[in-house]
Amino acid sequence: ELDSLLITMSERGMRLFEKGKKPISIKTKAKEVFDVTGAGDAVISVFTLALTSGATKQQAADLANTAAGIVVGKLGAVAVTRQELVAALKEL
């Protein structure tokens, strides 16, 4: 049985559905979009890493959204570094 679902919606951000809660809309964090290659991979990996580190699903989705915003600001399939993620979070 599915207890939650995270949907990515390109420039419209993300939507998090959790059983028994109202859906949450998360606005995109991308400033400029050069290439969307790897954005979904960044979302999956950062969301999973955050969850396994003890984050709530909303916290994990916010962090994953930030990571995707970094990825689309670069050309090609790229990784997000810890330093980039920390710097982006400090700007929020």
Average pLDDT for the chain: 92
Q: Is 41 a residue of the active site?
A: yes
Query: What's the DSSP call for residue 80?
Result: P
- Domain ranges within the chain, ordered by starting residue: 29-91
**DSSP helix/strand/coil, 65:** helix
Identity of the residue numbered 84: E
Of 3, 35, 41, 62, which is the active-site residue? 41
pTM of the model: 0.88
Mean pLDDT of 53-79: 93
Contacts 24+ apart (CB under 8 A), 22-26: 24/58, 24/61, 26/61, 26/62, 26/65
What is residue 5's predicted lDDT score, i.e. its pLDDT?
A: 97
- Core vs surface per residue 38-59: b (16+ CB within 10 A) or e: bbeebbeebbeebbeeebebee
Residues ≥6 apart with Cβ < 8 Å to 36: 10, 72
Mean pLDDT of 36-62: 94
What is residue 31's predicted lDDT score, i.e. its pLDDT?
A: 77
User: In this predicted model, what pLDDT tens digit does every residue of 14-36 receive, in sequence order?
Assistant: 999 999 999 999 998 777 888 88
User: In this predicted model, what pLDDT tens digit does every residue of 70-89 receive, in sequence order?
Assistant: 999 888 888 999 999 999 88
What is residue 90's predicted lDDT score, i.e. its pLDDT?
A: 86
